[in-house]
C-alpha cells in the first residue's frame, strides 16, 4: 500500500520537474512513510511514497524502470497472484528480451515485466489484486493510469491548462502550482444525496476519479482514451445466464474453496498481519478462514462503545474466543470518538459524510499499533444480499402497489406524527412478537423512511429514495444541477431479472467503491495501515454472481450461503442476531456535546455568506433535530462534513 502522484506536461513549453512531483507525493506521506522516490524525464514526472509490505529491500523502490528500459511505473496496492504472473512471464519465448533477470521479488517488478511481454491491457486482465497505477511508456511517450476492478484503491486526475495532474488523493494535486481549487456545486449536490461523491466526479471542477476497472491513456498530443477492461454489470448479467448447477453442499464447498484461496493469497506479507473483526457474518467468515489456514493465532481487532445499540464488541470477543485468535479490543468513550471529528477533513481530503468513518478510523488506529496489514470483511452485503433494503424495497412495493395513493399519504402522515425515538421505544415492546427478520435496530428511522416512500410508483424510484439523504439536493445547493450517475443515467441503466440483483449490482458499482471502500482506505491510510478485502477478489465476485438467488436469500434472510460456510467454523448462536450498522450516536451527540460545533458551522449568517446552501432548509432541519421531533443526523452530517472541509481547506 502506497501513495502515487505526478504530472504530465501536455505542451513542449517546459520539462517536468521531479521535485514538484516529490512535493505532491509528500502531501500523502501517511500512505507511504517508509520510503520515497521521484523521477522526471521530458514532459512527465512520477513520485511515490512507500509503505513496505513485500520485498522490503531497495529492490522494491519506486519509481521503478522495466528491465527493457521502455516503461517507468509508480504503483499503489498489491498484486496477489504475482508469483503466477511471474511464472507465466518466464514461460514466454521473449522473456529474456523483455526481462533479462529479476532484481527482487516485488509485485511491481512483475507488473513491469507483464506489460513488457503482453501489453498494458492484457497485463491488467491477468492481475488479481487492488491497485492504482501510473505508467510512462518512453517509446510512445504516453501516460497510462489504471485502477483495480472493484475500486479499492483511489486515483484522481485533472487537466489544468496543458498540465495533467494525478494522485492517490486530492491533497497531492492541490500541492501543484497549476492546480485550481474551484468547487463543483453539481458534485456537492451529489454529496448531499449520497453522503459521498460518486465517480467520476470530485468536489473540484476539472478533477475526475478514474472509474474502477478502467484505464486512461494520454498521448503526447494530449488525446485521452478511457477504456474498461472488466465490467461488474457484465459479470452480473453473465452470472445470471451461466448459473452454478451444483446442489447446496457443492455451492458451499466451492465458495469455501474460492474464498479460502483469496484469503490465503492475501495473507502473504513480509510484515505483521491481522484482521478487523466485528462479530458479524462477513468479518467472522474472513477470520475463520484465515485461522483455518494459519498455524499461529490470527491477530484480530475490534472496538466497542458503551452506548446501547452501537456496540458489537462482545459478539466479536465470543467469535474470537471460539476461533482461538489473539484478540485485541478497545472500548471507546464518546470523548475519544468525538476527538476524531476535527481530523476528518484531512483524513478524507474530499468531503465525505458516512458517519461510520469515525469508528472505522478508530479500529484502524487500534490495529496499526500491532500490525501493518489488516484484512476486512467488506463486500459481503453487496455480493450475497445482506442489506435490509434489498428485501424492504421488494416487499414494500408489493404491499403498497395495491393501496390507493390517498390511503398511502394518510399512512405516511400517521407515521410522521411520532418521532423515531418514540417509535424505537414502541418497537422494543413489540419486538418479541415480530418475526426475526422484522426485528430491526433503529426501527424508528426505518419507519420514517417507509413513510417517505409511500408515494412512489415503482421499484426504481423506491431504491433511489432508500439510498438518498436529501431528496432534492439541487434545491438545497445553490446554483447546482445534479449530474447523472449509475442510479439515474439511462446510458448506464442496470436491469437484471429481479429487483434484488439489480440493487446489488447498483451498490457494487456505486455505494461499494465510492462509500465503503473510500471510508476504509482513507481511515486506514491515515495511520499507515494497509487493508485488504478478500471478498472483492474478482474471482470471488464472479463466482458469487453465478449463484442463484435461492442460495443468497432463504427464509427471509440474506447471505444464506455465506452463513452456511461460517457455520462450518463458528456456532450459529454466536453470529445470528439482527444486523447492526457500524456507527456512532451522531444524533445524540449533535443535541449534546457537538451542538456548539455544529451551530457554528450551520449559523444562518455563515451559510448566507458562503453561499453554497439554502439556509432555510438547513436551519429547519437543525431546529427539528434539536427539538427531538425528527432525527436528521444523516442529512445534517452531510452538510457539516462539507462545512468542516470548507473551513479547513478554503477557510
Annotated binding-site residues for ATP read 303, 376-377
d(CA 191, CA 442): 23
Q: Which of 181, 177, 178 is nearest to 207 (CA)?
A: 181
Burial label, 201 (beta-carbon count in 10 A; 0-12, 13-18, 19+): buried
d(CA 269, CA 443): 43
Q: CA 434, 305, 323: angle at the middle one, nearest 5?
A: 80
What nine digits make up the cell of 134?
501510473
Annotated binding site: 107, 303, 376-377
Distances (CA, A) of 179 to 4, 172, 173: 17, 10, 7
What nine digits make up the cell of 526?
491515515
CB-based burial, 571-581: b 16+ in 10 Å, e otherwise: eeebbeeebbe
Q: Count other C-beta atoms under 10 Å from residue 216's C-beta.
A: 21
Q: CA 321, 322, 328: angle at the middle one, nearest 5?
A: 25
d(CA 212, CA 489): 17
DSSP β-ladder status, 530-532 and 373-375? parallel
d(CA 100, CA 113): 10
Q: Are 135 and 115 in contact (CB under 8 A)?
A: yes
2 is catalytic: yes
Distances (CA, A) of 204 to 222, 264, 444, 501, 515: 21, 40, 36, 33, 18
DSSP 3-state assignment of 199?
coil
Annotated binding site for L-glutamine: 107
Q: Which of 24, 27, 111, 39 is nearest to 76 (CA)?
A: 111
Q: Are 83 and 72 in contact (CB under 8 A)?
A: no
Q: Where are the beta strands (DSSP E) in 515-606?
A: 530-532
Q: Which residues pair with 74 in a beta bridge?
A: 134
Give catalytic residue positions.
Answer: 2
Amino acid at each position: 500500500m502506497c501513495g502515487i502522484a505526478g504530472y504530465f506536461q501536455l505542451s513542449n513549453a517546459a520539462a517536468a520537474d521531479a521535485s514538484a512531483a516529490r512535493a505532491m507525493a509528500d502531501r500523502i506521506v501517511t500512505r507511504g512513510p517508509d520510503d520515497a522516490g521521484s523521477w522526471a524525464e521530458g514532459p512527465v514526472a512520477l513520485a511515490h511514497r512507500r509503505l513496505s509490505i513485500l520485498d522490503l529491500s531497495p529492490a522494491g523502490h519506486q519509481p521503478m524502470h522495466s528491465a527493457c528500459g521502455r516503461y517507468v511505473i509508480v504503483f499503489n496496492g498489491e498484486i496477489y497472484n504475482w508469483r503466477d504472473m511471474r511464472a507465466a512471464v518466464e514461460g514466454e519465448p521473449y522473456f529474456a528480451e523483455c526481462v533479462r533477470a529479476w532484481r527482487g521479488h516485488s509485485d511491481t517488478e512483475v507488473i513491469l515485466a507483464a506489460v513488457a511481454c503482453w501489453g498494458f491491457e492484457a497485463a491488467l486482465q491477468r492481475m488479481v489484486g487492488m491497485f492504482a497505477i501510473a505508467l510512462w511508456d518512453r517509446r510512445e511517450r504516453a501516460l497510462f493510469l489504471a485502477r483495480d476492478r472493484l475500486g479499492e484503491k483511489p486515483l484522481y486526475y485533472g487537466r489544468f491548462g496543458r498540465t495533467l495532474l494525478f494522485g492517490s488523493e486530492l491533497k497531492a494535486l492541490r500541492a501543484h502550482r497549476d492546480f485550481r481549487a474551484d468547487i463543483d456545486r453539481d458534485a456537492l449536490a451529489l454529496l448531499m444525496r449520497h453522503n459521498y461523491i460518486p465517480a467520476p466526479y470530485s468536489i473540484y471542477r476539472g478533477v475526475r476519479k478514474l472509474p474502477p476497472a478502467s484505464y486512461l491513456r494520454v498521448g503526447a498530443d494530449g488525446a485521452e482514451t478511457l477504456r474498461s477492461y472488466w465490467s461488474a454489470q457484465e459479470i452480473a448479467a453473465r452470472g445470471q445466464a451461466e448459473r452454478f448447477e451444483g446442489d447446496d453442499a457443492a455451492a458451499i464447498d466451492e465458495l469455501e474453496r474460492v474464498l479460502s484461496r483469496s484469503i490465503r493469497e492475501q495473507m502473504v506479507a513480509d510484515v505483521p498481519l491481522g484482521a478487523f473483526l466485528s462479530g458479524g457474518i462477513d468479518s467472522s467468515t474472513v477470520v475463520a478462514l484465515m485461522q483455518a489456514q494459519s498455524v499461529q493465532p490470527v491477530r484480530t481487532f475490534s472496538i466497542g462503545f458503551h452506548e446501547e445499540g452501537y456496540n458489537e464488541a462482545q459478539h466479536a470477543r465470543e467469535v474470537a474466543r471460539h476461533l482461538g485468535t489473539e484478540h485485541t479490543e478497545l472500548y471507546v468513550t464518546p470523548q475519544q470518538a468525538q476527538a476524531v471529528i476535527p481530523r476528518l477533513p484531512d483524513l478524507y481530503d474530499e468531503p465525505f459524510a458516512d458517519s461510520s468513518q469515525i469508528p472505522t478510523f478508530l479500529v484502524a488506529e487500534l490495529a496499526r499499533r500491532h500490525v501493518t496489514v489488516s484484512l476486512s470483511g467488506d463486500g459481503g452485503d453487496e455480493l450475497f444480499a445482506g442489506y435490509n433494503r434489498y428485501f424492504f424495497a421488494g416487499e414494500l412495493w408489493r404491499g403498497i402497489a395495491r393501496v390507493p395513493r390517498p390511503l398511502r399519504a394518510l399512512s405516511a402522515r400517521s407515521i410522521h406524527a411520532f418521532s423515531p425515538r418514540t417509535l424505537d421505544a414502541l418497537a422494543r415492546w413489540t419486538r418479541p412478537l415480530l418475526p426475526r427478520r422484522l426485528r430491526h435496530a433503529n426501527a424508528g428511522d426505518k419507519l420514517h423512511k417507509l413513510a417517505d416512500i409511500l408515494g412512489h410508483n415503482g421499484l426504481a424510484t423506491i431504491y433511489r429514495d432508500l439510498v438518498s439523504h436529501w431528496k432534492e439536493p439541487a434545491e438545497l445547493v445553490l446554483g447546482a444541477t445534479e449530474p447523472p450517475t449509475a442510479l439515474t443515467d439511462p446510458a448506464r441503466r442496470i436491469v437484471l431479472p429481479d429487483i434484488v440483483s439489480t440493487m446489488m449490482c447498483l451498490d457494487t458499482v456505486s455505494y461499494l467503491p465510492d462509500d465503503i471502500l473510500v471510508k476504509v482506505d482513507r481511515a486506514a491510510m491515515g495511520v499507515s495501515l494497509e487493508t485488504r478485502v478478500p471478498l472483492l477478489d474478482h474471482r470471488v465476485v464472479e463466482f458469487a454472481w453465478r449463484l442463484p438467488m435461492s442460495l443468497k436469500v432463504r427464509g427471509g434472510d440474506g447471505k444464506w450461503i455465506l452463513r452456511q460456510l461460517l457455520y462450518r467454523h463458528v456456532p450459529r448462536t454466536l453470529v445470528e442476531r439482527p444486523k447492526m450498522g457500524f456507527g456512532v450516536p451522531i444524533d445524540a451527540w449533535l443535541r449534546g456535546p457537538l451542538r456548539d460545533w455544529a451551530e457554528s458551522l450551520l449559523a444562518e449568517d455563515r451559510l448566507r455568506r458562503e453561499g453554497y446552501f439554502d439556509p432555510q432548509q438547513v436551519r429547519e432541519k437543525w431546529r427539528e433535530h434539536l427539538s427531538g421531533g425528527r432525527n436528521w443526523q444523516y442529512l445534517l452530517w452531510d452538510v457539516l462534513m462539507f462545512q468542516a472541509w470548507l473551513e479547513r481547506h478554503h477557510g
